[in-house]
Structure 1
Amino acid sequence: MKKIVSSFVLLLLSISGYSQGHYSGSSFNPNDYFAPHEGLIIPVWYGFANMNYYNGQGKKTDQLINNFSGEPNSLTIKQNVKTHSFILMGIYGGKGKILNANWGMMLIPTLNSPTASIALDYYTQQTGAGTYNFTNKNVGFGDMYIQPVWLSWKAGNFQYALNYGVWAPTGKYEPNSLDNGGHGYWSQNIRVAVKYKPAPKINVSAAHTLEINHWQKKTDFKEGTHLTFDMGGSYLLNSRGDEIGVFGHFTTQISDDKGTEGSKLSDQVGGVGGFVSYWIVPKKIGAMARITQNFSAENRFAGTAFQTGINILIPTSKEEH
């Protein structure tokens, strides 16, 4: 089995911001944009993030200028938002071909404490100047990611992928609530990716993700569209399939928010990180750890995120993909 599947990870809620929507860059490891080996993969992950707010000049600050409703308000906010996420994924690699492509599907329900994006959602909905403190420690269901289209084609040392998924607003959402677990709107993710293998143990990849957001329930707000560029590489350590790698991303808002509660501010953020994976039971149970550090953040929370977990592989075929 040449395709190493222990690297799968998606921690899409851990480093997002109010004007970013659901998808966070560097949520995938470099090989994970491409359809998996035949079988069922069950990753179980924990993620921790330590975030601070950065203004439009890219400076960390306790002052948030809220211009979502009428005249701007200057809010003093509690910095250093710490978040926890628990993610159980279901990943299926299908048999045969669709459009001459390997194919798969993905389902990701999430359980998390309110993320930095939800904290910023709370802050930006305040209508008066003053000091606001986001102190909720509850854990609840978040929004769910569903990826029914996951296709990848091979051509020599290259591999190409087309992915389509949606975020369903399954997490609790009420305007101005401290214990929201979701964003209250649907998002569509369209992704194209390419991978190149310059040597037998080395892979490099790049991907573009377009996220199109819909109207938020119970508010007059529609999030702007975002474009994320991801890239990275991995190195195979041994014949067991243990692996190390690096990754990076840059996300920018490419259309304005809409509605009376829409912001006049656009956001952006970059990030770099690395991962290591190890087969506890070769080709059956794998462990991984990864870390991401944000940079160049504007009008959003950003910081450091760490994730660790295990991946359980249940193959349906002994043949190679």
Structure 2
Amino acid sequence: MKTLRKQNLLASLLLGMLAFGTHPAQAEIGHFAPALPNIRDFAVPEPGFYGAMLNYWYSADRLNDSGGNKVTTLTISPGPGPGLTLTPDIKVDIYALSPMFIWVSDYKIFGAKYAAYIAPSFATSTISASLTTLRERGASVSGRSDFGLGDLFVQPLWLGWTRKHFDFAFGYGFYAPIGRYDTETVTLPVVGSFQTEAADNLGYGFWTNQLQTAATWYPWEDKRMAVAVALTYELHGKKRDFDYTPGSNLTFNWGVSQFLPLTSDQKLLMEIGPTGYSSWQVSDDKGSHAKNPNVHDSVHAVGGQLGLTYVPWMLSINFRGMYEYASRDRFQGHSFGLNIAKKF
């Protein structure tokens, strides 16, 4: 029991350093996961009811500072004084599962199809770290959260305009902080007592409003190829139990999707294509707990998608891999996604 408490304490300490007490890096990011959607997911589909199951794995062992360099020291400084400096060796692994329920109506608003969807999330995370002080011996810890409820995404407004060679879309949604979230107090020599996020949190602890616009171009009328782009803007609320409001985020998604028939009757299609994203923090963090509020995080990623669609069943399965690069003030890693979708 003492060992477990020590691991939870150090894992909580690590989370606290990354979120509020570190210099020079912070690691609070937005709700939107740009590696999660398929290339064609930003266009509103034809009227009907759809169900989807999104699986997402993310792994990172590199934390970058505001200059894009790997962090080699972390300083806990929640208040006045010299603080405590550590040399970290960190690995983060996350798995998330999100069922989606999508309804596309037969009604038109401003000439656009009206749709709405809801996407609860469930997740588990593992943080492994070797933390060594500059004066003391180190400690290795591994903290894993139980699989549980994360934050909820609801998009009550999703409009889609369809033309012969184009699809345009606009959506408004929000993330409700219903996922497991708590804080705890950590007491350390030199530093004293300060509040951190709990090690087993699965929720972010703040609301987010999201606006999204998207355009998809089809060079051929049969839509065998799609060139898709999307812009997603996130406006975050105040974090629970802290005087801290994360800065807004802007994310650009892009992708090129090509259907290739695998059977002569074209009932079974393979989908393949490159995809990627870039995400930037576009406004300052606010509040007394914001460290270096004018330092903005950013990350870029590139990868590919491979999938199968069986047309008679309106069933698709897509696999995606993404590699992040040139991240600033946040983790840099890689992700995999496996999405299954069906029209009912």
TM score, norm. by length of structure 2? 0.76
- Partner of 1:170, secondary structure, is coil
* Structure 2 unmatched runs, 5+: 1-25, 132-137, 184-196
**Counterparts of 1:218 and 1:159, CA distance in 2:** 42
Change (3 A) 1:152 1:132: farther
**Counterparts of 1:270 and 1:205, CA distance in 2:** 17
Q: CA deviation at 1:69?
A: 5.0
- Partner of 1:31, secondary structure, is helix
Bigger Cα Rg: 2
The AA in structure 2 aligned to 1:213 is H
**Counterparts of 2:302 and 2:119, CA distance in 1:** 23
Q: Deviations over 1:202-250 (max 9, x none)?
A: 1112111111000011111101011111111100112334311221111
Change (3 A) 1:267 1:134: farther
Assess if the C-alpha contact under 8 Å between 2:236 and 2:247 holds in 1. yes
**Counterparts of 1:192 and 1:284, CA distance in 2:** 25
Q: Which residue of 2 aligns with 1:56?
A: 66
Q: Deviations over 1:169-221 (max 9, x none)?
A: 01011122111110000001111111111234211121111110000111111
Q: CA deviation at 1:61?
A: 3.4
Change (3 A) 1:223 1:68: farther
**Counterparts of 1:255 and 1:69, CA distance in 2:** 24
Is structure 2 residue 268 aligned with structure 1 residue 259? no
Matches within 5 A, 1:62-101: 62-65=72-75, 69=79, 74-101=85-112
Q: Which residue of 2 aligns with 1:7?
A: none
**Counterparts of 1:70 and 1:166, CA distance in 2:** 37
- Partner of 1:270, secondary structure, is strand
**Counterparts of 1:138 and 1:113, CA distance in 2:** 6
Q: Which residue of 1 aligns with 2:304?
A: 274
Q: CA deviation at 1:45?
A: 3.0
Matches within 5 A, 1:107-256: 107-114=118-125, 133=141, 135-175=143-183, 176-199=197-220, 200=222, 201-238=224-261, 239-240=266-267, 241-256=269-284
**Counterparts of 1:226 and 1:69, CA distance in 2:** 28
Q: CA deviation at 1:42?
A: 1.5
Q: Deviations over 1:31-50 (max 9, x none)?
A: 21121222222112332211
Assess if the C-alpha contact under 8 Å between 2:145 and 2:199 holds in 1. no
The AA in structure 1 aligned to 2:320 is R
Q: Deviations over 1:108-162 (max 9, x none)?
A: 111101378xx99xx9xxxxxx878461242111001101111111233222111
Matches within 5 A, 1:305-316: 305-314=335-344
Change (3 A) 1:195 1:243: same
The AA in structure 2 aligned to 1:136 is R
- Partner of 1:223, secondary structure, is coil
Assess if the C-alpha contact under 8 Å between 2:126 and 2:142 holds in 1. no
- For the aligned residue pairs, the C-alpha RMSD in angstroms reads 2.5
TM score, norm. by length of structure 1? 0.81
Assess if the C-alpha contact under 8 Å between 2:271 and 2:309 holds in 1. no
**Counterparts of 1:49 and 1:179, CA distance in 2:** 17
Number of aligned residue pairs: give it: 288
Question: Which structure carries more relative contact order (alpha carbon 8 Å, separation 6+)?
Answer: 1
- Identity across matched positions, percent: 27
Q: CA deviation at 1:62?
A: 4.7
Runs (4+) of structure 1 moved beyond 6 Å?
A: none
**Counterparts of 1:204 and 1:242, CA distance in 2:** 16
Q: Normalized per residue, which structure has more strand?
A: 2
Matches within 5 A, 1:18-29: 18-29=27-38
Q: Which residue of 2 aligns with 1:319?
A: none
The AA in structure 1 aligned to 2:52 is P
The AA in structure 2 aligned to 1:102 is K
- Partner of 1:218, secondary structure, is coil
**Counterparts of 1:62 and 1:139, CA distance in 2:** 31
Is structure 2 residue 63 aligned with structure 1 residue 33? no
Change (3 A) 1:214 1:134: farther
